[in-house]
């Protein structure tokens, strides 16, 4: 029996994610931070150049490159992280300091952007929560367990920074699933 191209791409993606060198290019050489790669839809916990953990994510339904309130895009750049807090809508919410002061001076608008768990109505859906980009500009993980693990790491390691990088040829080539909206500009 012959494997389908989609199954083949999925298996290659799993092998790349499992390889010991996979995290080397995802994490900067210094610092303790969260890194989001928009192309492969991954959030990485990074510590001194080493990937500690990785999570699949859903991004804004409008793609990436947030500039205005209501555009449903996930912002790109490096931001301060706030303290994780309980959320009635998403179990846990970790605020992202968007827009920065420099972005505000350039006319960027918006607020209430963060990393969070699944919407309460769909917390049972697991992996399905990250199969499509559905947020209004936030970064969502698949389960309460995943956001609890990220929040615990942010608290215990005193993580104050998140870097959200755009789709690049290299990151898009490593992605095993199609999220066409992340590269679309509006």
pLDDT digits (tens, 9 = 90+) for 99-141: 999 999 999 999 999 999 999 999 999 999 999 999 999 999 9
pLDDT number for residue 24: 53
Asked if residue 174 has pLDDT above 90, the reply is no
pTM for the full model?
0.79
Asked if residue 6 has pLDDT above 70, the reply is no
pLDDT number for residue 25: 80
CB 49 within 8 A of CB 39: no
pLDDT number for residue 166: 73
Asked if residue 15 has pLDDT above 70, the reply is no
Provide the percentage of residues in the chain whose pLDDT is more than 90. 75
DSSP string over 149-160? HHHHHHHHHT--
Residue 117 neighbours by CB distance under 10 Å: 25
CA dist., res. 15 & res. 130, Å (int): 20
pLDDT number for residue 94: 98
CA atoms within 13 A on the CB side of 30: 0
96: its two tokens:
């992202």
Asked if residue 12 has pLDDT above 50, the reply is no
Collapsing DSSP states into helix, strand and coil, what is residue 47?
strand
85: CB partners within 8 A, 6+ apart: 92, 93, 94, 95
Asked if residue 14 has pLDDT above 60, the reply is no
pLDDT in tens, 35-70: 999 999 999 999 999 999 999 999 999 999 999 999
pLDDT higher at 169 or 115: 115
CA dist., res. 44 & res. 158, Å (int): 15
Asked if residue 89 has pLDDT above 90, the reply is yes
pLDDT number for residue 180: 37
Asked if residue 167 has pLDDT above 70, the reply is no
Number of domain units in the chain: 1
CB 118 within 8 A of CB 111: no
User: Across all residues in the chain, what is the average pLDDT?
Assistant: 83
The candidate with the shortest Cα–Cα distance to 45, out of 163, 139, 144, is 163
DSSP string over 160-178? -EEEEE---HHHHHT-SS-
CB 50 within 8 A of CB 27: yes
Residues in the chain: 186
- The range of the structural domain enclosing residue 125 comes to 5-183
Q: What band does 170 get if pLDDT is binned at 50, 70 and 90?
A: very low
The candidate with the shortest Cα–Cα distance to 114, out of 132, 134, 97, 89, is 97
- Residue ranges with strand state E in 65-151: 77-80, 85-87, 91-95, 114-116, 139-140
Q: At 72, which CATH number?
A: 2.40.440.10
């Amino acid at each position: 029996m012959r494997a389908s191209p989609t199954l083949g791409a999925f298996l290659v993606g799993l092998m790349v994610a499992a390889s010991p060198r996979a995290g080397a290019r995802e994490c900067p050489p210094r610092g303790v931070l969260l890194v989001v790669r928009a192309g492969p839809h991954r959030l990485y916990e990074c510590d001194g150049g080493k990937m500690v953990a990785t999570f699949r994510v859903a991004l804004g339904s409008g793609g990436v490159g947030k500039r205005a309130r209501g555009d449903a895009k996930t912002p790109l750049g490096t931001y301060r992280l706030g303290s994780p807090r309980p959320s009635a809508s998403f179990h846990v919410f970790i605020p992202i300091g968007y827009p920065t002061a420099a972005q505000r001076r350039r006319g960027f608008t918006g607020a209430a952007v963060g990393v969070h768990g699944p919407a309460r109505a769909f917390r049972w859906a697991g992996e399905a929560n990250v199969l499509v980009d559905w947020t209004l500009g936030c970064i969502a993980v698949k389960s309460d367990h995943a956001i609890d693990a990220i929040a615990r790491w942010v608290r215990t390691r005193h993580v104050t920074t998140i870097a959200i990088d755009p789709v690049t040829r290299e990151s898009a080539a490593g992605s095993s699933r199609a999220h066409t909206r992340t590269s679309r500009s509006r």
